[in-house]
Amino acid sequence: MVAKGIYFPNIDPKNPLGEVDKLIYDISRILKKKIIAVWARRKKAKMIMKNRCIDSGKVESKNNNVNMVASGFYIPKSNPEKPLGEDAHFICEEESTMGVADGVGGWAKHGIDAGEYARELMLNVQNAVKQEPEGYVNLKRVLDEAYLQTKANGSSTASIVTVDNDQVFHGINVGDSGFMIFRNNKLLYRSMIQQHRFNRPYQLGNDKRSDTPKSAQEYRLKVQDGDIVILGSDGLWDNVFVSEIEKTLMLRNVDGKGDVHDLASFIGQLAFSFSMDGKTFCPFAEAAKHAGQERVGGKVDDITVLVGRIVVQ
């Protein structure tokens, strides 16, 4: 069931991908004008993540039966007053679990940095995950505990995913961050967007108007060796169409052997390039049109991309 007011781009698995050479040219053209700025911000993002006390980078879980090799890439939007941006994420190698939170920018007009709430929430989620039995993480319990422990002002979306030793993928989501699962480089499944109205996502927080973990949607799905999980904030999903991610996987995940850090970095840079393009037509513009609003160009935002590959031993 699709909730009223939620828009999903149509996905046609029979739609041809087009010639590879043309795709390479198109992507190169998109990145050419922005590549210097992208790498500069990538360097900034790496420095930020290095000092955040939240795991990132390429990791591999230690579960006996199922591993998830994962990597994260983060580009905060340029704001001297908020150098860390408003997104936060973690990757927990011991439990094949990763998560992302996106602080709601509307708090800025009240003098509140919602990024602080997002970072505290993700740190508390990570701590709760480490208390779970190895190989089986109860994400509902984890989110409930983290929510109760988070005291910062502001609010954020939250999306957490894990895979257990029975090859069952479990996801939990509040708001417009979310995940997609790809098999053989084609979309297999995606989480739903939760929003009260267009561009007003569900959000966890301590304010009486905020949502609670009771609003969270949970997902369970049997996964296979080689499946790709992409988890991201709306800075990714608002700027990159599913078809563009599929094309990227076709080029950079040949025979299922693509490097997850390379995939996360490339997709993140692609999203950034689209976000800075004032003439592009992006998913956010399409959703705005569906909501009766006219919008042209990408959506400038913090961009978090986490990519995990399922490895069954």
Q: What is the pLDDT of residues 257-271, one digit of tens each?
A: 899 999 999 999 999
Both structure tokens of 150: 């988070």
* Cα radius of gyration rounded to whole Å, the chain: 18
Q: What are 137's two structure tokens?
A: 């993480």
Question: Letter for the amino acid at 77?
Answer: K
State pLDDT tens for residues 161-203.
999 999 999 999 999 999 999 999 999 999 999 999 999 999 9
pLDDT tens-digit readout, 105-156: 999 999 999 999 999 999 999 999 999 998 899 999 999 999 999 999 999 9
Joined together, the tokens standing for residue 184 give: 């053989």
Question: What share of the chain has pLDDT > 70, as a percent?
Answer: 80
Closest CA to 94 of 56, 50, 59: 59
pLDDT range class, residue 81, cuts 50, 70, 90: confident
What is the model's pLDDT at position 254? 93
Q: SS3 of 272, please?
A: helix
- pTM score above 0.95: no
- Inform me whether the pLDDT recorded for 72 exceeds 70: yes
Confidence label for 64 from pLDDT (cuts 50, 70 and 90): low
Residue pLDDT, tens place only, 192-228: 999 999 999 999 999 999 999 999 999 999 999 999 9
Whether the predicted pLDDT of 40 surpasses 50:
no
Q: Is the pLDDT of residue 23 over 80?
A: no
259: alpha, beta or left? (left if phi > 0; alpha if psi -120 to 50): beta
